Amino acid sequence: IESYYKDLKRMSKVGLKYFNFHPGSCPSYEEGISNISNGINELQERTNGDDTVILIETMMKKGNYIGKKFEEVAEIISKVKDKSRVGVTIDTCHIWDAGYDLSDADKVLEEFDKVIGLKYLKAIHVNDSKNELGSNKDRHEQIGQGHIGLDNLKKFVNHPKIKNLPKVLETPYKEDNLKMIRRNHITEELNYEKILQ
């Protein structure tokens, strides 16, 4: 909690809006939900007056991870006191590996809205997956080179309901990625331009 508190205070000083975190794991589901929501409540109380929003990242069904289903994220949010300062980041690899089929963006977003509420969706982590749908793993892949596929990712990130949300690219390191981005010369192979058109 102390480390997150310091991060939130630094973010507030420089005007950064969103603080994203992985909910973590716990052998007891109930204890995990309680620990996470209590932690968010404590952080919100200690940063009262700041406007940084704490984002819960969606996870995959790996071990005792919390946040692998939309229902788990919704339960955390239900126990948070200041709902104006909590939100969600969808990680495309994580939800794919958890069994949410991104080939049907409408269905995924409808379910998210029904269970959590689209008003809580604040950011997207964009990556492909090395694994098949529902694999319960977490292995990010370059855009268009994994099982989600370029077309599905493109449709999802450009969906009218989320098109204007901040998106963070979370693909594995590839030699010269940074050089190409700095030169503003993104290659066809990396597909960064294609996905956001």
**Burial annotation 111-126 (CB, 10 A radius, 16+ → b, else e):** ebeeebeeebbbbbbb
| Best CA proximity match to 133, nearest among 100, 89, 109, 155 | 100
Residue 180 pLDDT > 60, yes or no? no
Residue range 38-93, pLDDT digits in tens: 999 999 999 988 889 999 999 987 788 899 999 999 999 999 999 999 999 999 99
Please tell me the distance from the alpha carbon of residue 67 to that of residue 73, in angstroms, as a whole number.
5
The reported pLDDT for the residue numbered 120 is 99
Give the tokens for residue 72: 């788990």
**CA gap 166, 175 in Å, rounded:** 25
**62/65 Cα distance (integer angstroms):** 6
The Cα–Cα gap between 99 and 87 comes to 21
CATH value at residue 154: 3.20.20.150
pLDDT of residue 185: 43
**Prediction pTM value:** 0.86
Percent residues over pLDDT 90 in the chain? 67
Helix 70-78 vs helix 105-115: crossing angle, to nearest 10: 30
Number of domains in the chain: 1
Question: Across all residues in the chain, what is the average pLDDT?
Answer: 87
Alpha carbons 1 and 9: distance in angstroms, whole number: 12
| pLDDT score of 31 more than 50 | yes
Domain extent for 129: 2-195
Q: What is the pLDDT of residue 178?
A: 54
Radius of gyration of the chain (CA): 17
**Of residues 155 and 193, which shows the higher confidence score?**
155
